[in-house]
Amino acid sequence: MIRIVLAFLLLARACAPVNATPRATASATEPSATTPAPTIAPTNAPSITPSQLTEVTAPDVAVTAGTFPILTSLRLRLAAIDDAVVQGARAGVEQYLRAIDYYRGGQTPALPISGRSLAAVAAALKDSATPGVTREFALESLHVDRHVQKPWGTHAYVDVTVSIVDRVVSGTGADQHETGMLRLSGDRLRVTDGWDAENGRWFNGFGPLPLAQIRTEIVFPIAEYLRGESWTRTSVPSRWTFGGDVSAFARARAQRVAAIDRAQIVSRVFDGTTATIERFDTIDGIWSGLATVRLEGTLVTTNAAGRTDRVPFERHVRVFLFGSWVPEVVDEQTPSGAWVSGDELALDKIDVDRA
């Protein structure tokens, strides 16, 4: 009988996914957005038509080398198994079985799995194949064994025991039945692992977290964070944010940026930005968590009279990594050292699949 022990990997964004002491405060040496701007004489620069405007480019961000602590200070918690969890798990398993059917029917070129799961699935599909016989999976029964949540309330994983039939839909052959365990993860509960009954463990399990992976993951969200505060004479300011206005940080940051007089500051870009990871607070194995990062570089501004100023800047930000969506900056420090969020990060609204 076919062993259905596949594992869908989440797109890492995660999506699909060791040591220095953080500083207590961050300085903000860039000009204050609330400081009254001086009167500037009109410039003779040619006007820009709407058709000439382009989207501002995200700045380059270089991540510094060195170690930093990975602190497994966040804890998972057992959660209730209600109808919504059962229905979500059922939908996830059914989607998973359809994807296998699409793969062996030639409708998709590959299965989105890796590691031990990929080897097990490849062997199982090969062993169960019968010339001239077409099969189709169906879920016969499902029982939710365990529901585990992240500290902010979104799904960490759901373990289920399922009975599956691989029915013959054309050709001559016998139906094949299988009972086993699957693990579903993510906001929308997608199958990410299968139980290896022969060895008494999950095929993929929870692997180690390479230091380099954290460094790689923070580049995109920090570049996008700075791009949201950048513009030039020939670009339109970026107004797109990952989390919208769901958090106190997002709302406060939007107000801070909106307070800058763009008629006076006609160009504002970041140059030579470096990011130093100071710590990563996370959940052992799941790895969803917060990287505290110090940013340093130069803020380059040009006023309406054409004068360009280069001012060093330093900030501390928190970056949420390895969640159900792309990583993003979710907090920043004020010059006093307080976090803008007040530690109300709204991760229950941010750690969701927004596709």
Q: What is the mean pLDDT of the chain?
A: 85
Q: What is residue 9's predicted lDDT score, i.e. its pLDDT?
A: 31
Arithmetic mean of pLDDT, 193-222 = 94
Would the pLDDT of 245 be above 60?
yes
331 phi and psi angles, rounded to 5 deg:
-165, 160
138 and 234 both lie in a single domain: no
252 and 236 both lie in a single domain: yes
Question: Is residue 241 within 8 Å of 250, Cβ to Cβ?
Answer: yes
Q: What is residue 27's predicted lDDT score, i.e. its pLDDT?
A: 35
139 and 164 both lie in a single domain: yes
Q: How far apart are CA 32 and CA 201, in angstroms?
A: 56
67 and 215 both lie in a single domain: yes
Q: Which residue, chain included where needed, has tokens 């309406």?
A: 304
Q: What is residue 121's predicted lDDT score, i.e. its pLDDT?
A: 79
Total structural domains in the chain? 2
Which of the four pLDDT bands, split at 50, 70 and 90, describes residue 33? very low
The least confident of 99-113, 266-280, 334-348 is: 99-113
Spatial CB neighbours of 254, under 8 Å, sequence gap ≥ 6: 241, 245
Which of the four pLDDT bands, split at 50, 70 and 90, describes residue 105? confident
Q: What is residue 168's predicted lDDT score, i.e. its pLDDT?
A: 94
Residue 10 inside a domain? The answer is no
Q: How far apart are CA 290 and CA 296, in angstroms?
A: 19
Q: What is the 3-state secondary structure (H, E, C) of 215-257?
A: HHHHHHHHHHHHHCCCECCCEECCCCCCCCCCCHHHHHHHHHH
Check which CATH number belongs to the domain holding 101 and give it: 3.10.450
Which of the four pLDDT bands, split at 50, 70 and 90, describes residue 240? low
339 and 251 both lie in a single domain: yes
**β-strands 61-63, 70-71 pairing:** unpaired
Which of the four pLDDT bands, split at 50, 70 and 90, describes residue 241? low
81 and 187 both lie in a single domain: yes
121-154 pLDDT per residue, tens: 778 888 888 889 999 999 999 999 999 999 999 9
325-335 pLDDT per residue, tens: 999 999 999 99
Residue 6 inside a domain? The answer is no
Residue 7 inside a domain? The answer is no
pTM: 0.81
Residue 9 inside a domain? The answer is no
The amino acid at 244: G
Other Cβ atoms within 10 Å of 75 Cβ, number:
9
Q: What is residue 98's predicted lDDT score, i.e. its pLDDT?
A: 93
173 and 114 both lie in a single domain: yes
Would the pLDDT of 110 be above 70?
yes
pLDDT > 70 fraction of the chain, expressed in percent and rounded? 83
313 and 274 both lie in a single domain: yes
- Residue 87: its H or E element: helix 83-104
Arithmetic mean of pLDDT, 312-318 = 98
Q: What is residue 242's predicted lDDT score, i.e. its pLDDT?
A: 57
DSSP 169-220: EESS---EEEEEEEEEETTTTEEEEEEETTTTEESS------HHHHHHHHHH
Q: Which domain-ending residue is among 175, 202, 229?
A: 202
Distances in Å between the Cα of 45 and the Cα atoms of 55, 233, 261 are 20, 10, 18
Q: What is residue 25's predicted lDDT score, i.e. its pLDDT?
A: 33
Which of the four pLDDT bands, split at 50, 70 and 90, describes residue 244? low
The least confident of 30-44, 62-76, 247-261 is: 30-44
Residue 26 inside a domain? The answer is yes
Distance, C-alpha 192 to centroid of its chain = 16
Q: What is residue 41's predicted lDDT score, i.e. its pLDDT?
A: 39
Q: How far apart are CA 111 and CA 88, in angstroms?
A: 21
37 and 121 both lie in a single domain: no
Residue 305 inside a domain? The answer is yes
Q: What is residue 112's predicted lDDT score, i.e. its pLDDT?
A: 67
Which domain, by its residues, includes 233? 16-74+209-350
Which of the four pLDDT bands, split at 50, 70 and 90, describes residue 243? low
Question: Is residue 199 within 8 Å of 123, Cβ to Cβ?
Answer: no
Q: Which domain-ending residue is among 202, 228, 245?
A: 202
Q: Which residue, chain included where needed, has tokens 């470096």?
A: 274
Residue 355 inside a domain? The answer is no
- Residue 330: its H or E element: strand 328-332
Residue 296 inside a domain? The answer is yes
Q: Which domain-ending residue is among 202, 217, 236?
A: 202
198 and 86 both lie in a single domain: yes
Helix (H/G/I), strand (E/B), else coil: 316? strand
194 and 223 both lie in a single domain: no
Which of the four pLDDT bands, split at 50, 70 and 90, describes residue 46? low
Distances in Å between the Cα of 28 and the Cα atoms of 39, 147, 181, 333, 339 are 24, 43, 52, 9, 13
Which of the four pLDDT bands, split at 50, 70 and 90, describes residue 239? low
248 and 339 both lie in a single domain: yes
Q: What is residue 181's predicted lDDT score, i.e. its pLDDT?
A: 95
CA atoms within 13 A on the CB side of 245: 5
Exposed e or buried b for every residue in 258-295, given b needs 16+ CB within 10 A?
Answer: eebeeeebbbbbbeebebbbbbbebbeebbbbbbbbbb
Would the pLDDT of 8 be above 60?
no
Q: How far apart are CA 93 and CA 190, in angstroms?
A: 7
Write the burial class of residue 34 (CB in 10 Å: 0-12 exposed, 13-18 middle, 19+ buried): exposed
Which of the four pLDDT bands, split at 50, 70 and 90, describes residue 238? low
Write the burial class of residue 94 (CB in 10 Å: 0-12 exposed, 13-18 middle, 19+ buried): middle
